[in-house]
Amino acid sequence: MINKRLLGLISDSKKYIGLNVLFNFMALISNIAIMVILAYIISEVFNNNGISFYLWIALVAFIALKYLFNVISSKMSYLSSREVKMTLRELIFKKLLKIGPSYNEKIMTSEIVQLASEGVDQLEVYFASYVPQLFYALLAPIILSLVLSFISLPVALVLFACIPLIPISIALVQTWAKRLLGKYWQRYSSLGDSFLENLEGLVTLKIYNADEYRQKLMNEEAEEFRRVTMKVLIMQLNSITIMDIVAYGGAALGIIIGLNGFINGSIDLFGILLIIFLGADYFIPMRQLGSFFHVATNGMAASEKIFKLLDLEIEDNEGLKDVAFDNDVIIKDLSFAYEDKKVLTDIDLVIKNKAITALVGESGSGKSTIASLLSLFNVYEEGSIRIGGIELKDIDFNEAMKHIAVLNHNSYIFKGSIRDNLLMACKDVDDEKMWEVLNKVKLGDFLKTMNGLDTLVEEGGSNLSGGQRQRLALARMLLKKSDLYIFDEATSNIDVESEAIIMEQIKKLKDEAGVLLIAHRLASVIDASDIYVMDNGRICESGSFDELMTLKGNFYKMYETQKELEGSIV
Ligand SMILES: Nc1ncnc2c1ncn2[C@@H]1O[C@H](COP(=O)(O)OP(=O)(O)OP(=O)(O)O)[C@@H](O)[C@H]1O
Ligand SMILES: [Mg+2]
């Protein structure tokens, strides 16, 4: 019923929970005092006796105290849950940063969003209400029974005997609840994932007229989610009904025994009034615990998923810093597999500093995988990638990222201004420098007709053309002075003019850094100092353009075929 790991997560939470229980307990004592005074006043009025003025003052004082203690305990609830929410969200965020760009191979984006928002919110009830209530609900019946035992021992004993029935009923539904809530969260995140995917792919779905079909699939998923939600509600309502029967049945039983004592004279009017007042309150803490329990179990089911994310084993890349990157990158005997699917075998490749190295080959031959290993998006186990004799995977990720820049065919443009997008690459760059790179990629004239650097860009750069988007991404890349530039199909899917502009900049970059150029259009690699040809995860040929053409191997065949297809362009 208590999750030690959750409690251990926040050092201050125990303090706030303790204080919460303490102030709840003081509110209970004030409440007992109020009931005692009220029962006494009523019995005195009934017996036609006068009521002392001080008694009224005491009554008002205890009511005020009870209010004050309740306010303080609510404050403690707030403090403990605030800490928890902040700490957990921070932990999730840090973990994601640590996992890095390939996080969605391990966990779905929508699941993270749901866990970090609603999942963490559900835990608020666990810390702010459930855990303090658990202690308070154990304490309150003992105190109340003790007070009632002075009036009537049988009543105190009967009420006390009913108390364990509530935790027993909670424990009985717990295994069921845990399984059901696990399923609930699974369906919830998978529905969220489908929703996100359909939203992202909406244009494609419309083009292929497939939106209706996808909607049908999502409706089915939504229906399953509705069903599991209903099951959760049924489980919660059933268990609350059982608790209500125990609570109100127990209170009624205690009061009936008390009334019996009143009739046969063993309990006086004050005594029976106190039994009725306190009897009605007797089960409330346990009953509340039951209600909190359901929300808390939901939070705990979410916390299990959160811990699963936090526990993902990530290679600690607390690696080397101050590495000189202005060196050749030497790849030797590099092999790599996604899970158990081997996609690279014994790769030997050198990316010379201040030169263009091209990587070509059939689709699926492993080119982007090499790029992803070079930019540490994936981590290699077999073979080596060395820069100036230092193993790339031993270098601190953030440090390496200062020296490596990647441009692929779908580089992301963020919502905001052109300036915002450029500042991402280099924080302390002035307007002049920004215009310089924008002119290099021939976006300057276009932006001058708009709002200059303050021109607003929509999410994903959707108000720019494909070519403009890619040229803006290149401008951003140029601002980030790097030692290794990786272009992975950076010019695919764009207009010829944009392609020429980008290629011109790539050629210039070789004067200051190493460039890896992955390209399908073989005409664009003619000037590369070395061309590596990949086939099915292996390097099958390498050399300069002329050498490969003389070799008349794979490259030659691919080049000739492309030339034929593209006609006069090549
Ligand atoms: N995240 C992944 N999980 C599993 N397999 C993957 C993953 N990414 C790529 N692959 C597989 O690895 C192989 C190499 O893919 P890669 O993207 O490196 O090819 P490529 O040469 O860049 O192809 P293209 O020219 O089409 O971009 C392919 O068979 C692909 O299916
Ligand atoms: Mg690729």
Q: Taking a C-beta distance cutoff of 8 angstroms, is the pair 413, 423 a contact?
A: no
Would 324 be classed as within a structural domain? no
In the reported structure, the alpha carbon of residue 55 is separated from the centroid of ligand 2 by a whole-number distance in angstroms of: 84
- Cα 543 to ligand 1 centre (Å): 24
Q: Among candidates 539, 558, 489, 518, which has minimal Cα distance to 344?
A: 539
Tokens of 145: 């029974």
Q: Do 241 and 339 have their domain in common?
A: no
Nearest CA to ligand 1 atom 26: 363
Q: What is the pLDDT of residue 102?
A: 67
Asked whether residue 489 is assigned to any structural domain, the reply reads yes
CATH of the domain at 299: 1.20.1560.10
Domain that residue 366 falls in: 329-569
Question: Are 389 and 294 contained in the same domain?
Answer: no
Return the pLDDT at 242.
Answer: 85
Does residue 315 lie within any of the structural domains?
no
105 Cα nearest atom in ligand 1: 1
pLDDT means over runs of 10, the chain (570 residues): 72 82 93 94 89 91 96 90 84 82 73 83 83 87 92 91 83 81 87 88 86 91 95 87 87 92 92 91 85 80 83 71 85 93 96 96 95 90 92 87 89 90 89 94 93 92 90 93 93 84 92 94 92 96 96 94 72
Atom of ligand 1 nearest to the CA of 372: 18
Query: Does 542 reside within a domain?
Result: yes
Domain's final residue, options 283, 310, 337: 310
Which ligand ends up closest to the CA of 364?
1
Per-residue pLDDT reduced to its tens digit, 314-368 = 666 567 877 788 889 999 999 999 988 999 999 999 999 999 999 999 999 999 9
The number of residues in the chain equals 570
Ligand approaching nearest to the C-alpha of 365 = 1
Residues with CB under 5 A from ligand 2 (ion): 368
CA distances for 552 relative to 309, 469, 542, 546, 555, angstroms = 51, 38, 12, 10, 7
For a pocket test of ligand 1, which of 335, 340, 368, 532 has the largest count of ligand atoms closer than 8 A to its C-beta? Answer: 368
Cα–Cα distances in Å, from 332 out to 289, 328, 344, 387, 391? 62, 13, 12, 11, 11
Q: How far apart are CA 232 and CA 218, in angstroms?
A: 21
Element (H, E) at 347: strand 341-351
Q: What is the DSSP pairing of strand 329-338 with strand 404-408?
A: unpaired
Query: What whole-number percentage of the chain has pLDDT above 90?
Result: 49
The answer to whether residues 288 and 348 belong to one domain is: no
For residue 157, how far is its CA from the centre of ligand 2 (angstroms)? 75
**Statement to judge: residues 287 and 377 lie in one domain:** no
Q: What is the pLDDT of residue 294?
A: 76
Q: Is residue 134 part of a domain?
A: yes
When divided into structural domains, the chain yields a total of 2
SS3 content of the chain, % helix, strand, coil (to 5): 65, 10, 20
- Going from the Cα of 424 to the center of ligand 2, the distance in angstroms, rounded, reads 25
Backbone angles phi, psi at 266, to 5 degrees: -80, -15
77/151 same-domain check: yes
- Which residue has the least CA distance to atom 22 on ligand 1? 368
The binding-site residues of ligand 1, defined as CB within 6 angstroms of any ligand atom, are: 105, 338, 341, 343, 361, 363-369
CB atoms within 10 A of CB 23: 22
CATH assignment at residue 555: 3.40.50.300
The whole-number pLDDT of residue 568 equals 52
Give the predicted TM-score (pTM) of the model: 0.67
Pocket test for ligand 1, best of 105, 106, 107, 338 (most atoms within 8 A of CB): 338
pLDDT for the residue numbered 340: 85
Nearest listed ligand to the Cα of residue 372: 1
The domain boundary, picked from 280, 310, 340, lies at 310
Which mutation among 369, 377, 525, 534 tests ligand 1's pocket best, with the greatest number of atoms within 8 A of CB? 369
Task: Tell me, yes or no, whether 26 and 74 share the same domain.
Answer: yes
Looking at the fold, whether 295 and 163 belong to one and the same domain comes out as yes
Same domain, 300 and 344: no
Tokens of 281: 């309150």
Q: Is residue 380 part of a domain?
A: yes
DSSP-derived 3-state class of residue 349:
strand
d(CA 491, CA 495): 8
Cβ atoms < 10 Å from Cβ of 336: 22
Token readout for 540 is 């099958």
For atom 2 of ligand 1, which residue has the closest CA?
Answer: 338
Between CA 27 and CA 134 the distance in angstroms is 16
Spell out the alpha helix ranges (H) of 375-495. 397-403, 418-423, 431-440, 444-449, 466-479
Residue nearest atom 3 of ligand 1, based on CA coordinates: 338
> How much distance in Å is there from the Cα of 374 to the middle of ligand 2?
13
Asked if the structure places residue 319 within a domain, the reply is no
pLDDT tens profile 375-410: 988 889 899 999 988 999 888 888 888 899 999 887
The pLDDT assigned to 101 comes to: 67
Mark whether 412 and 536 lie in a shared domain: yes
Q: What is the whole-number distance in angstroms between the Cα of residue 69 and the centre of ligand 2? A: 64
Angle (nearest 5°) at CA 290 between 285 and 295:
120
pLDDT digits (tens, 9 = 90+) for 458-494: 988 889 998 899 999 999 999 988 999 999 998 887 7
- Which numbered ligand comes closest to the C-alpha of 337? 1
Question: Which ligand is in closest contact with the Cα of 520?
Answer: 1
Q: Which helix (H) or strand (E) holds 535?
A: strand 530-535
The residue among 279, 310, 341 that closes a domain is 310
Q: Is-contact 333 386, C-beta < 8 A? A: no
Nearest to 197 by CA among 176, 213, 182, 218: 218
Q: Could you tell me if 291 and 386 lie in one domain?
A: no
Rounded to 5°, angle at Cα 469 from 463 and 471:
145
- The span from the CA of 175 to the CA of 165, in Å, is 17
Is 26 a member of any domain? Answer: yes
Which residue has the least CA distance to atom 14 on ligand 1?
366
Q: Which atom of ligand 1 is nearest to the CA of 339?
A: 4
Are residues 219 and 368 located together in one domain of the fold? no
Q: What per-residue confidence (pLDDT) applies to 377?
A: 83
User: Within this chain, do residues 203 and 165 fall inside the same structural domain, yes or no?
Assistant: yes
Q: Which of the listed residues 103, 104, 343, 562 should we mutate to test ligand 1's pocket, taking the one with most ligand atoms within 8 A of CB?
A: 343
Burial class (CB in 10 A: 0-12, 13-18, 19+), 230: exposed
